[in-house]
Amino acid sequence: MSLVVKVEKRLSQGPMPAVGKALTLAFFIIIVLSPILYVFFQVFSNWGEVYRWVFADPFYSKIGLGALRFGMIREALIRSFEIAGLVTLIDVIVGLPMALIMARYEFRGKRFVDTLIDLPLAVPTAALGFSLYLFWGTADGIGGLLGIGRGLFSRGPILVILTHVAFTYPYIVRSLKAVIESIDRSYEYVARTLGAPGFTVFRTVTAPLMKEGLVAGAILSFTRSLGETGATLIVCGAFETAPVLIVSWRRMLLIPPTAFLSMVLIATACALLVVLKFFARRVGFPIRKVWPGFERRLSGRAQRTLRDVATYVFFIVVVLIPSCFTFLYMSRWWAGSPYTGARELGVFYQVFLAGDRKYLTLVWSLLTSLAVASISTLVNLLAGIPMAYHLARGGWRRLKDVIDSLVDFPLMIPSSALGFATFLFWGPRGLGVAGPGFWLITLTHIAFTYPYIVRPLVAVFESVDPGLEEAARTMGAPPLTVFRTVTLQVVKPGILATAIMAFTRSLSETGATLVVMGFARTVPVLIVQWVESLALQAASFACVVLIVISYLLLFTARRLVGGE
């Protein structure tokens, strides 16, 4: 018996398995949950200070505006919910036809189109926001193409909506496509044989069968829009949403009102999670009444063709081209200004030849991004693999459903609120473990990428045939040896793909990093700062670098899991 097997046998006996499970749960509670809960503790334990700053500020009370900050919070929340609601509605309306096309149609180039739908996922949100700003908001984009000589939309709510639709579109399409593919089509065939037109079949048969997936996709789209910060910072102008307001107040060191706003957003995320977990199945669809004539006209070939063409046009014009426009902008401005020919305004000169040596700043920011992503991914693999395995194998017994729900919590919380929670808990106002900077960024990225490791791996472990493990155990192998030699070998591609996804998510994060960064800079933060300082040429170069790295990583992950 080898030394490794002896150690694994020892660790599989007595109280050691229980100790391992306790350490796994302790990591999750301390690193992921405790910062979130600490926000509530800070607000309620310092309510007097919070009340004074939010509802009765002495400075503003002198001029009759004591609750000015509460008004700002209310307005920011209303804006955020309005934007997220409208974006979700648009996503469902335009994403559902695309999901149907990808799930039910077979055509040449389908796999290529399927890959293009994922493209916004490969673009970090700061880079995506910048690309959409160039396309919709500058003379280099659609405004110049239409001969307007300026951007079609200025920074504000319309540009925020267009940006949020672009980066949430793949989420809704992917969610609905998976659900539609899982539906037994025999029910639809039966309805058609009874003479029901296609639209009636979809409304009365298909839609009720996919309602849980539709609700889940809508809530995912809503929460992604509600919590987005990086892209919004670039396109919002003076139109501040709640996550942007957190970043703004954190920069101004307005800690009490920032804590209050973060608590509200976290509570909202908790409510949405409850809705998703417990009420999705109760959603009903209007199936009692049928309008045969009207619905038959909607089911005609011309109407279906019009629907499909409109779906493709929307995807190309609103999602695909704006998401990739940075590449065209950088190529036009590479050697100099396309309008005056001034070499000093070109991308190459601004990045590599200008006196401020932006390329050195970019290199250091890229190294910081890679280091943070590497550490957070490695730590989460070590802590997340056992958590996912126990959840998949029912190892938590009565606590399984609770833990399973709580694992998703960081996915629902706006990243800027999660970053602020981490700052409060680990920073000088909490445990004092780390001040703003590299290590606080790393702790924050560990917290929000944890579900990106655990959630997919639960599905991966559930797909493993338990009979393989049982066969190894009957031959006398201890549980840890079985896990190392059998289970890990089967799920290795899934683990690698999951690690790449978590790495890419860390690489692209902006909102949480802005709250905890101190003097450290990641590439997404650098992009935001360069856009704010109007160094658009340098920002375009940084965006292209980040997009290429992210796309290569996601392409690798896609190959590892066979394109799924």
pLDDT greater than 80 at residue 490: no
What is the domain-level CATH number for residue 185?
1.10.3720.10
Domain contains 467: yes
Read off φ and ψ for residue 229, nearest 5 degrees.
Answer: -125, -50
Measured CA to CA in angstroms, residue 99 lies from 36, 64, 106, 324 at distances of 35, 53, 13, 22
d(CA 69, CA 60): 9
What's the start-to-end Cα distance of the chain, in Å? 40
What gap in Å lies between CA 142 and CA 253, rounded to an integer? 39
Nearest to residue 486, comparing CAs of 496, 499, 495, 477?
477
Which two three-digit tokens encode residue 467? 């009979």
What pTM value is reported for the model? 0.86
- pLDDT, average across residues 447-451: 92
Secondary structure of residue 166 in the 3-state scheme:
helix
The closest alpha carbon to 515, from 430, 431, 424, 428, belongs to: 424
Q: What's the gap between Cα 359 and its chain centre?
A: 28
Domain of residue 472 covers 30-560
pLDDT tens sequence across 160-182: 999 999 989 988 888 888 788 77
Residue 416 lies in a domain: yes
Write out pLDDT tens, residues 185-228.
Answer: 776 677 667 666 666 677 667 777 777 777 778 888 888 888 88
Mean pLDDT of 140-153: 83
Examine residue 17 and state whether it is found in any structural domain, yes or no: no
Establish if 20 belongs to a structural domain.
no
**Residue 77, in any domain of the structure:** yes
Do 540 and 330 contact (CB within 8 A), yes or no?
yes
Residue located via tokens 């796999």: 111
Could you count the other beta carbons within 10 Å of the beta carbon of residue 463? 11
In angstroms, rounded to a whole number, what is the distance separating the alpha carbons of residues 538 and 356?
11
Residue 484 and residue 474: Cα distance in Å, rounded? 16
Q: pLDDT tens digits for 355-412?
A: 889 999 999 999 999 999 999 999 999 999 889 888 887 767 777 778 888 888 888 8
The pLDDT confidence band at residue 280, using thresholds 50, 70 and 90, is low
The first and second tokens of residue 18, run together, are: 């229980």
Task: Give the range with max mean pLDDT: 82-86, 267-271, 397-401.
Answer: 82-86
State how many domains the chain has. 1
- Is residue 15 in some structural domain? no
* 399 within some domain: yes
Q: Report if residue 21 sits inside a domain.
A: no
For residue 463, the model assigns a pLDDT of: 76
